[in-house]
Amino acid sequence: MSLLKKIIKFLLLAFLITLLHILAVSLFPYPLNHINVAVSLLLLIFIITNKEGVIWLAVLVGILLEIFASVTYGINLISLVVSLIFTNWLSMNTFTHRSVHMVFITGIIGTVMYRLIFSTLIFFVSVLNQTDFYLFKGNLLADMGLEILLTGSTLFIFYIISIRLLSYLRSDYLSENRRIKL
Amino acid sequence: MPQQTRKIYPYVLLVLVILVIFHYLGVTRFIENGARFVLIPVSTKIYQTGSKIKENFKFLNLDNETKEKYNNCIDVEENFNVIEVKTRLLEEENLELKKMLEFKEEMELKLLPARVIGKSIDSIEQNLIINQGKKSGIEIGQPVIVKNGILIGKISKVENDTSQIRLINDNQSRIASTILNKNKSLGVVEGGFGISLRMKYIPRNETILIGEQIITSGLEIDMPRGLLIGTVAVVENEAYKPFQQAVLNPATDLSHLTIVSVLIN
């Protein structure tokens, strides 16, 4: 029964993250619609819970987002999961100091990795299909930069809010290992 | 780093590869259809709400009568632009046919109406999702119009029941086009510049005036000639560049489309 509950919670969380992402893209005005809500929420959950199950959550969110993706199936999914794995590895090995500044940098790096892998995969697919992919055209790079900055900032804000909420709700959160360093 | 986390990385990557392969084999179709069944009605509601909010935002300071008059004016102007383009093309065609004795091939085009049910999840792209797909005869590359003659984009991805439109202001969009000027200048209309468009590779010696209309040239496969794209807003003609370019205003507002038509050959 507890396994069933876990699976249901897992599915509901994945659907919620997907719907929040769709909401941001459809409802928010420019430039706020450039926030990559899926990446920022998944990174937030990674940073707060520190559990490997979040990677599977990312796989499920990637599958759901593929329904609305305009690129070849798999590009969005692979970019999302691989960028989160890389960011997780970074936060475990390099950014071990869990300050809010590191969280912001983690958000930036996570989104940069996402876009880098995304663009690389699109490039290879366009080479295989013999179609064109214009990376240096129009405002594409500027839009990517905006997305990276806004997603990092959103993660930063979400992290501060969630840490404040958790500190009020969980008395064991003020233990030495989990204290925020500002 | 926890050993367990490191150990699952190869499994995750393997699962990703398997999922992608299963998708193309059709094994995961029932899961995807189930997820679509849940998500698409919600995304349709979200998109429609977003369109209404954006539409109403424009009218914050206007009273009801003025709002109605404003909407009517926009409709009349867009229809007028389409009629004007068609009239000019008919006049030119008439002259050419009178001069030459040749067989004119007509393309049988069918309009398939579709409702916009959402946007692509990538905010950097300008792609819309519609509720018609392969089952209705939609194919990649077909043009999508509104109001019987204003081009808004092309079909970029097709599923069984849904399709995606790449709008003309998307950064990967390129349309072969003609200016309705004295020289009938040819060029390529590109997106990726926010709400405006740019027409590039226009020969420098040809004169372009602000306000002139741009239409599809018909030089692309599946793209008929004469679909209105926009009007010239700014001309950029610099001596050191081999071509001139024009900044265009799209012929219709691309930010809140709800009903479109796909041209099926």
Q: How far apart are CA A82 and CA A113, in angstroms?
A: 8
- Which ipTM did the prediction report? 0.82
Query: What count of other Cβ atoms lies within 10 Å of the Cβ of residue A79?
Result: 23
How far does B39 lie from chain A, in Å, by closest CA?
Answer: 8
DSSP per position, chain B: --HHHHHHHHHHHHHHHHHHHHHHHTTTHHHHHHHHHHHHHHHHHHHHHHHHHHHHHHTTT--HHHHHHHHHHHHHHHHHHHHHHHHHHHHHHHHHHHH---PPP----EEEEEEEEEE-S-TTS-EEEES--GGGT--TT-EEEETTTEEEEEEEEE-SS-EEEEETTSTT-EEEEEE-STT--EEEEEEEETTEEEEEEEETTS---TT-EEEE-S-STT--TT-EEEEEEEEE--TTSSEEEEEEEESS--SS--EEEEEE-
pLDDT at B4 over 70: no
In the CATH hierarchy, which top-level class contains the domain A2-173? mainly alpha
SS3 for chain A is CHHHHHHHHHHHHHHHHHHHHHHHHHHCCCCHHHCCHHHHHHHHHHHHHCCCHHHHHHHHHHHHHHHHCCCCCCHHHHHHHHHHHHHHHHHHHCCCCCEHHHHHHHHHHHHHHHHHHHHHHHHHHHHHHCCCCCCCCCCHHHHHHHHHHHHHHHHHHHHHHHHHHHHHHCHHHHCHHHCCEC
How far does B133 lie from chain A, in Å, by closest CA?
Answer: 13
Chain A's closest residue to B159, CA to CA, is A67
Q: How far apart are CA B256 and CA A103, in angstroms?
A: 36
Q: How far apart are CA B156 and CA A99, in angstroms?
A: 43
Question: Quick check: A36 and B123 CB within 8 A?
Answer: yes
B199 forms bridges with which residues in the sheet? B189, B246
pLDDT value of position B53: 82
Q: Which of the two residues, B193 and B138, has the higher pLDDT score?
A: B138
Contact A111, A84 (CB under 8 A): no
Q: How far apart are CA B16 and CA B14, in angstroms?
A: 5
B 64-83 residues inside an 8 A Cβ radius of A:
none
pLDDT band at A60 (very low <50, low <70, confident <90, very high): very high
pLDDT at A82 over 80: yes
pLDDT value of position B44: 92
pLDDT value of position B62: 62
pLDDT value of position B21: 92
Q: B203 preceded by cis ω (within 30°)?
A: no
Flag whether residue B33 sits within 8 Å of chain A, measured between CB atoms: no
pLDDT band at A78 (very low <50, low <70, confident <90, very high): very high
Flag whether residue B191 sits within 8 Å of chain A, measured between CB atoms: yes
| Chain A residues near residue B47 by CB distance under 8 angstroms | 26
Chain A's closest residue to B155, CA to CA, is A70
Mean pLDDT of chain B: 86
Q: What average pLDDT does range A122-144 have in this prediction?
A: 84
- A4-17 pLDDT, tens digit per residue, is 898 899 999 999 99
Question: Quick check: B20 and A78 CB within 8 A?
Answer: yes
Among residues B139, B144, B137, which one has the least CA distance to residue B167? B144
Nearest to A81 among B4, B12, B193 (CB): B12
Flag whether residue B19 sits within 8 Å of chain A, measured between CB atoms: yes
pLDDT value of position B256: 81
Query: What count of other Cβ atoms lies within 10 Å of the Cβ of residue B135?
Result: 10
How far does B47 lie from chain A, in Å, by closest CA?
Answer: 6
Give the contacts of B249 (CB within 8 A, at least 6 positions apart): B196, B197, B230, B231, B233
Encoding tokens for residue A123?
Answer: 């490039």
pLDDT band at B163 (very low <50, low <70, confident <90, very high): very high
- A7-56 pLDDT, tens digit per residue, is 899 999 999 999 999 999 988 888 898 999 999 999 999 888 878 788 99
Query: What count of other Cβ atoms lies within 10 Å of the Cβ of residue B12?
Result: 17
Question: Quick check: B12 and A59 CB within 8 A?
Answer: yes
Q: How far apart are CA B157 and CA A72, in angstroms?
A: 9
pLDDT band at B42 (very low <50, low <70, confident <90, very high): very high
Flag whether residue B43 sits within 8 Å of chain A, measured between CB atoms: yes
Mean pLDDT of chain A: 86
B187 forms bridges with which residues in the sheet? B177
pLDDT at B147 over 80: yes
Amino acid code (one letter) for A159:
Y
pLDDT band at A153 (very low <50, low <70, confident <90, very high): very high
Q: How far apart are CA A72 and CA A121, in angstroms?
A: 9
Q: What average pLDDT does range B229-256 have in this prediction?
A: 91
Encoding tokens for residue A46?
Answer: 């990674």
Among residues A146, A105, A135, A94, which one has the least CA distance to residue B1? A94
Rg (chain A; Cα; Å): 17
Specify the pTM.
Answer: 0.83
Question: Quick check: A138 and B191 CB within 8 A?
Answer: yes
| Integer angstrom CA distances of residue B108 from A64, B64, B111 | 38, 42, 10
Q: What average pLDDT does range A155-163 have in this prediction?
A: 90
Q: What average pLDDT does range A155-174 have in this prediction?
A: 78
Find where tokens 């599977």 sit: A56
Q: How far apart are CA B120 and CA A26, in angstroms?
A: 9
Amino acid code (one letter) for B14:
L
Size of interface A-B (CB pairs under 8 A): 136
| Integer angstrom CA distances of residue A96 from A99, A103, A163 | 9, 10, 17
pLDDT band at B188 (very low <50, low <70, confident <90, very high): very high
- For chain B, give the percent of residues with pLDDT over 70: 91
Query: Domain ranges in chain A?
Result: 2-173
Question: Quick check: B171 and A19 CB within 8 A?
Answer: no
| Chain B residues near residue A35 by CB distance under 8 angstroms | 123
Chain A's closest residue to B48, CA to CA, is A26
Rg (chain B; Cα; Å): 22
pLDDT value of position B101: 47
Most A CBs within 10 Å, among B58, B121, B158, B245, to test the A interface: B121
